[in-house]
Amino acid sequence: MTDAPWWRGAVIYQIYPRSFLDTDGDGVGDLPGIVEKLDYVASLGVDAIWIAPFFRSPMADFGYDIADYRAVDPLFGTLADFDSLLAKAHKLGLKVMIDQVLSHTSDQHAWFQESRGSRDNPKADWYVWADARDDGTPPNNWLSLFGGVAWQWEPRRGQYYLHNFLTSQPDLNFHNADVQRAVLDNVKFWLDKGVDGLRLDAINFCFHDARLRDNPPKPKDKRTGRGFSPDNPYAFQYHYFNNTQPENLPFLEALRQLMDNYSGAVALGEISSEDSLATTAEYTSGKRLHMGYSFELLTDDFSAAYIRRTVEELEAQMQEGWPCWAISNHDVERVLSRWGNGDKSARLAGLLTAMVCSLRGRCTFRSLARPIRHRLLAELQRSRRLPYTSALG
């Protein structure tokens, strides 16, 4: 027996509802489909499931554009379906984590519909609004992660609003204390239902530089390695001012204070900054996030040298939190496609063994040893994508 929290060394299995299992014949997976397969998921030996967004949404960003944080989108089912999912998962010994997208909403959210209407309504300052420059252009040079200018003109207010992602995903103004309270109240709704944790999407994007300073240019030789395609100008800047602001730290502490009221509830942050490993260490220090992950292993480079260097660099900086090493999620090709094609399969088997056996004791890959690693490699071997190797031993 150990007194360590459940999430230290846990294996977290992501479920993307829309592509998991369709039970009503509309061609889209749903919450009842997850319920139907929970026995199988539990048989894999995982400790927790992380469910990607299933909230009411126009689905411009496949659910990461939320129109109602407390409602299940009819595409996926009902709140009663989620309650059934939660109850069955807990009966099987599975923890349940859900996505929370706090930095922005859908433009269909009631908050934004009110905010965009005028400059003097009760929600007028709930989003990031700014006047145009004298020549009518946006207030600064910030760019969207999805390409193009990060500002959209709103004629009803005669101002621009900020969107770090899609145009239809306006950024909330976390400098407004009312916004922070409303966001935390939405989080509390799900904690009260009994969820065991939150996966916090783009958590370092909550705050922007209040002075709206321009981001500096990035030299050409520094624009690679962040996962951006050559045709995306987002890589042309150092993103010092549109995310990862110091004001985010007190907000994370307020979030942690809320979560500490719920026994065993954890927060896992997705972090993508100019120095994601340093930010991950900072965001998991003190009473902030329990766990953090960046995009460093969501790459095409799966050499043991690269992985070891990345892990050691983070562990040298992270003193209190727990690293959650994601090797696959909804943002990238699945790991067997990226790391396991053709002759790479045997190398993948060896790499999994190295992850389990060679990295320092805190690394969560150790949990792959029994039975997940065996099952993964056995499936590969059965499908003739991988010769049987001693990695199964």
Q: Which residues pair with 237 in a beta bridge?
A: 217
Determine the 3-state secondary structure of 127 from DSSP.
strand
Choosing from 171, 196, 201, 296, the catalytic residue is 201
Q: Please name the helix (run of DSSP H) or strand (run of DSSP E) that holds residue 263, with its range, or none.
A: none
Which residue in 246, 252, 247 sits closest to 288, CA to CA? Answer: 252
User: What does the alpha-carbon distance between residue 246 and residue 207 come to, in Å, rounded to a whole number?
Assistant: 8
Percent composition of the chain: helix, strand, coil (DSSP 3-state, to 5): 35, 15, 50
Between the CA atoms of 249, 263, 20 and 350, what dihedral angle is there, to the nearest 10 degrees? Answer: 80
Residue labelled with tokens 């004001």: 247
Q: Please name the helix (run of DSSP H) or strand (run of DSSP E) that holds residue 51, with its range, or none.
A: strand 48-51
CA distances from 346 to 162, 294, 308, 342, 377 (A): 46, 26, 19, 9, 10
Choosing from 81, 107, 196, 270, the catalytic residue is 270
270 annotated active-site = yes
Residues counted in the chain: 393
Segments in 44-154 forming alpha helices (H): 79-91, 110-115
What are the two backbone dihedrals, phi and then psi, of residue 184, each rounded to the nearest 5 degrees? -65, -30
The tally of CA atoms less than 13 A away on the side-chain side of residue 273 is 28
Give the orientation angle of helix 276-283 with respect to helix 304-317, to 10 degrees.
40
Neighbours of 300 (CB within 10 A): 9
Convert 329-352 to b/e letters by CB count within 10 Å (16 or more is b).
Answer: beebeebbebbbeeebbbebbebb
Which residue in 95, 98, 97, 99 sits closest to 47, CA to CA? Answer: 95
User: What does the alpha-carbon distance between residue 261 and residue 263 come to, in Å, rounded to a whole number?
Assistant: 6
Name the residues annotated as catalytic. 201, 270
